[in-house]
Structure 1
Amino acid sequence: MVESKTRREAIEEGRSLLQKLGFNGFSFQDIANRIGIKKPSLYAHFASKEELGLEMIAHYRHDFERWAEKHKNDPIIDQIEGLFRIFSKFARDQNKFCPLTVLSAEFQTLPISMRKALTDMTRFQEAWLVDLIQKGIRAGHFRTDLDPLQTAHIIQSLGFGVQHLARLHQDTDRILSMQAQIRNLLEVRP
């Protein structure tokens, strides 16, 4: 199915507002104002804000999958560090958060369908990290004493947390500084 221009614009504006204000921080009216249509017109494209939220999560997953595919032949450590470059890019764009980070902060207030989609997406990202960590261990690049799943959790937690600290302290460089810490955590030391 080909998305209409209005639907695409609504998803893009919704995602921008989500990344700056959170899911509960904007309304359909805000999106309508930004794309220059009347609020009832949005209902021709989305039955509810929940449906829009699900679309935003699906679009972010698609974007992440495309990014991961594009970088799959990069060195493993570069792929993992790339996650933090994505976070930094968001932060440098009007102090935005990764969609997963902002939605996870609002998890309890989200509709159940969005909670499930968010959980599925974070598990997908977790599995991607676990796979990379396992490959790094097998290749002899990463420490053999690492538990891949627990290490993936540490990396995700660092990513989510450092975005909040970067916003709080108005210091986006904090995000990229985590790359060195990830390297120290993972790599075999002579």
Structure 2
Amino acid sequence: MPVDTKTDVLNTADTMARGYGFDGFSYADLADSVGIRKASIHYHYPTKGDLSLALIGRYRHVFLDRLAQITARDTSASARLLAFLDLYRDALDGGRSLCLCVALSVTQGALPEATKSELARFHRDVAQWLETVFRLALSDGSIRAVTDPKAEAQAALAQVEGAQIMARAATDPTRFEAAIDTLRARAI
């Protein structure tokens, strides 16, 4: 089934934002990549702020769906944590890319308030999911040394997002692995 223009623009912008940063491409770059005129992009997304909001909104729903799939599939806290780490590892694409949430987070100054709010919702929702993982670990014992699930969740999210930035900056995925090793090693 062919992808409609609006979705094609969104897919291409997602790839460009992850690879170059949200400030690293223009509507002219996007139009050239999609093979349409800039006016067509403006028709669907009048401003780059509108595009950023559409990107993070879609990303948030897809990511939360993946977390729901992990919850349904994996019964232990450690399996859920390791699957979560895999999501961030996969998004790194060998050090060539970032998760969209990370790519947008590093350019927050250029984002409209609506996008910043949606990005904050994304981080809040992911941290809440991680908190449930660490709460489960208190009862199933599958993650070592859990003391404060809420604090653990905030630290884990910061750790994986920071690890992505380090690995992307060096185009070296081993930096991601080294940075998350303490999390991975706690899983039993």
Read off the aligned partner of 1:79 and give its amino acid letter: R
How far apart, CA to CA, are the structure 2 residues paired with 1:176 and 1:82?
Answer: 14
Counting only pairs closer than 5 Å after superposition, residues 28-177 of structure 1 correspond to structure 2 as: 28-72=27-71, 73-74=73-74, 75-92=76-93, 95-143=96-144, 146-177=147-178
What's the TM-score, normalizing by structure 2? 0.88
Instruction: Name the % identity.
Output: 23
Q: Secondary structure at the match of 1:44?
A: helix
Cα distance, 1:92 vs. partner? 2.0
Give me the whole-angstrom Cα distance separating, in 2, the residues matched to 1:115 and 1:124: 14
Kept in 1: contact 2:160–2:180 (CA 8 A): no
SS at match of 2:43: coil
1: CA distance, partners of 2:19 / 2:173? 14
How far, CA to CA, are the matches of 1:41 and 1:108 in structure 2?
A: 26
Q: CA deviation at 1:143?
A: 4.7
Q: Matched residue pairs, number?
A: 184
- Report the Cα offset of residue 94 of structure 1: 6.7
Q: For 2:183 and 2:109, how far apart are their aligned partners in 1?
A: 29
Residues in 1 aligned to 2:104 and 2:84: alpha-carbon distance in whole angstroms = 17
- Aligned counterparts of 2:85 and 2:7: Cα–Cα separation in 1: 26
Q: Distance in 2 between matches of 1:15 and 1:185?
A: 33
- TM-score if structure 1 supplies the norm length? 0.87
* Worse-superposed segment, 66-75 or 112-121: 66-75
Letter in 1 for 2:98: F
* 1:4-19 matched pairs, under 5 angstroms: 5-19=4-18
**How far apart are residue 52 of structure 1 and its match?**
1.1
- Cα–Cα, structure 1 residues 55 and 178, in superposed 2: closer, same or farther, change >3 Å? same
Residues 52 and 111 of structure 2 are in contact (CA less than 8 Å); yes or no, is this contact kept in structure 1? Answer: no
Q: How far is 1:64 from its partner? A: 0.8
Aligned AA (1:87): Y
Higher helix share: 2
- In the alignment, structure 2 segments of 5+ residues that lack a partner are none
| Residue identity opposite 1:148 in structure 2 | P
Q: After superposing the two structures, state which structure 1 stretch, 164-173 or 55-64, moved more.
A: 164-173
Cα contact 1:100–1:118 (8 A) shared by 2: yes
Deviation at 1:159, TM superposition (A): 0.6
Moved segments of 4+, more than 4 Å: none
